[in-house]
Amino acid sequence: MIRGSVLYEVLESRGIRSVVDPSMGVPVHLGYLKRHGIAVHGGDVFDWAVRVGEGIAVNDSVILRDEDIASIVEMLPGRVYSLDHFTPWEGTLFSQEQCRYLDVWRDNVRALRSDAHVGLAILGLWRVFCYWMQKAQTPDAMEDVAPGDLAWQYLRQTPPLATNGLHNTVRCADPATVVDACRAEALVLDASAEKNRDDTRIWMWEAWWRGNPHFRPDPPSHEHELARLVARADSYRDVLVATTQRAARDAADALRPSRRSIESVSTGSGDVYIVASR
């Protein structure tokens, strides 16, 4: 996962003021860049991640207030709920109560009044989901918290409103389509993005958002994906690849056929970026 503060340091040192991340995942890093005056454009194949992008990368005016959170967390009088979407998950990772809450939350979020509200809500509830998944693996290491209380906690922790006075966008599309459709000074790629899509939490949260507990994504194609994206990036002045010390050489090799200048930047936090310029 790309850390916004580290990426911002790399961008700032090169005077880069606009970026595209075509495989953004949970785009908290784009929200960080936006708060620091960078124009951000992102994409992802999972719709829930794009909805989160609407809440933190595109949104310029909406925050979740307590009345909004109350309308998300509990069953509302007069609303008819379907409470059996996620019964196939009962008894494996989740309790019956948790599965009922997943249904209630999905229905409530879909009834919110703006895309920004929806995105912020999905992000907060995603953190609840991750807590539950982790607790299922290490039940004695984490505190038992009632679902409603946990949701209130995380929904109140959504990122602060970010504005930069610039045009920021997100879209649901494959990485190549996003690279072709967007324009910016720099293309930002995460060398592990394709593998991250294999994370059970990522595709199960897409299953939740779709209301289909049987959803499984198509297997990603890891081989040569980075090189294919870089080959399409002629319009970008710079390409930055977030990677690790161990994988840095492979990332640099993928950039060399398309770029003249290749530089490895090791940050103080241990993150490594391969920066390729025309």
The reported pLDDT for the residue numbered 96 is 96
Backbone angles phi, psi at 8, to 5 degrees: -60, -40
Q: Which two tokens stand for residue 162?
A: 């970010």
Taking the C-alpha atoms of residue 33 and residue 17, their distance in angstroms, rounded to an integer, is 9
Instruction: Kindly indicate the confidence band of residue 173, based on its pLDDT and cuts at 50, 70 and 90.
Output: very high
- Sorted by where each begins, the domain ranges of the chain are 1-61+168-193+222-278, 63-160
Closest C-alpha among 249, 223, 237 to residue 19: 237
C-alpha 1, offset from chain centre:
9
Strand, helix or coil at 40? strand
Strand, helix or coil at 136? helix
What percentage of the chain reaches a pLDDT higher than 70? Answer: 98
The string of pLDDT tens digits covering residues 183-219 is 999 999 998 876 677 789 999 999 999 999 999 998 7
Closest C-alpha among 273, 265, 214, 267 to residue 243: 273
Contact in structure between 65 and 120 (CB atoms under 8 Å): no
Instruction: Kindly indicate the confidence band of residue 1, based on its pLDDT and cuts at 50, 70 and 90.
Output: confident
Q: Is the per-residue pLDDT at 258 higher than 70?
A: yes
| In the block, residue with structure tokens 């992008």 | 53
Fold of 1-61+168-193+222-278: Rossmann fold (3.40.50)
What percentage of the chain reaches a pLDDT higher than 90? Answer: 84
Contact in structure between 51 and 115 (CB atoms under 8 Å): yes
Beta-bridged to residue 276, according to DSSP, are: 239, 262
Contact in structure between 50 and 205 (CB atoms under 8 Å): no
The reported pLDDT for the residue numbered 220 is 66
Q: Is the per-residue pLDDT at 64 higher than 70?
A: yes
Backbone angles phi, psi at 50, to 5 degrees: -65, -40
Q: Please count the other Cβ atoms lying within 10 Å of the Cβ belonging to residue 61.
A: 8
The string of pLDDT tens digits covering residues 76-100 is 999 999 999 999 999 988 999 999 9
The reported pLDDT for the residue numbered 160 is 86
Taking the C-alpha atoms of residue 204 and residue 93, their distance in angstroms, rounded to an integer, is 11
Span 128-150, average pLDDT:
95
Taking the C-alpha atoms of residue 47 and residue 11, their distance in angstroms, rounded to an integer, is 27
